[in-house]
C-alpha cells in the first residue's frame, strides 16, 4: 500500500512539474517572439545582419525555454500547498538558548585628514 501511495505522489509531482514547465516554456517563447516581432533592442536586426539566423533563433528559443521553464517549475514547487507549515510541531517553540553577549562597544577616536 505504501509503495502505491509513493508512486501516486510521484506521478502527481511529475504532472505538476510538467504543467509548470509547459507554462514556462510557452511564456518564454511568447516573450521572445514578441521581442523579435517588435524588434526590441534591435534583436531581430542583429540576428539578420550576421546571416546566421539558423543558429541564433534555435539557441535563443532553447535558452528562453530553459530559463523560463526552470523559473516556472520553481514557482510551482514553492507555491505547493501543504497542511503542515512546520511552525507548530512543538508547543512552546522549542528549547530556549541564551543570547550571546559581546559586552559593550568601545569608543574609538578617528582623526579626519
Query: How many other CB atoms are there within 10 angstroms of residue 28's CB atom?
Result: 23
Q: What is the pLDDT of residues 4-55, one digit of tens each?
A: 788 888 898 999 999 999 999 999 999 999 999 999 999 999 888 988 888 9
**pTM flag (> 0.75):** no
Phi-psi domain of 39 (left: phi exceeds 0; alpha: psi -120 through 50; beta: other): left
Q: For residues 25 and 49, what is the distance between their CA atoms, to the nearest angstrom?
A: 27
Q: For residues 67 and 74, what is the distance between their CA atoms, to the nearest angstrom?
A: 11
Q: Are 28 and 67 in contact (CB under 8 A)?
A: yes
Query: How many other CB atoms are there within 10 angstroms of residue 36's CB atom?
Result: 14
Amino acid at each position: 500500500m505504501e509503495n502505491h501511495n509513493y508512486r501516486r505522489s510521484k506521478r502527481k509531482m511529475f504532472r505538476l512539474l510538467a504543467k509548470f514547465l509547459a507554462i514556462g516554456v510557452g511564456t518564454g517563447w511568447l516573450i521572445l517572439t514578441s521581442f523579435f516581432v517588435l524588434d526590441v533592442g534591435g534583436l531581430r536586426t542583429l540576428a539578420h545582419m550576421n546571416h546566421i539566423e539558423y543558429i541564433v533563433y534555435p539557441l535563443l528559443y532553447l535558452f528562453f525555454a530553459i530559463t523560463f521553464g526552470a523559473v516556472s517549475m520553481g514557482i510551482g514547487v514553492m507555491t505547493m500547498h501543504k497542511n503542515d507549515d512546520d511552525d507548530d510541531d512543538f508547543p512552546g517553540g522549542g528549547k530556549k538558548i541564551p543570547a550571546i553577549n559581546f559586552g559593550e562597544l568601545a569608543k574609538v577616536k578617528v582623526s579626519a585628514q
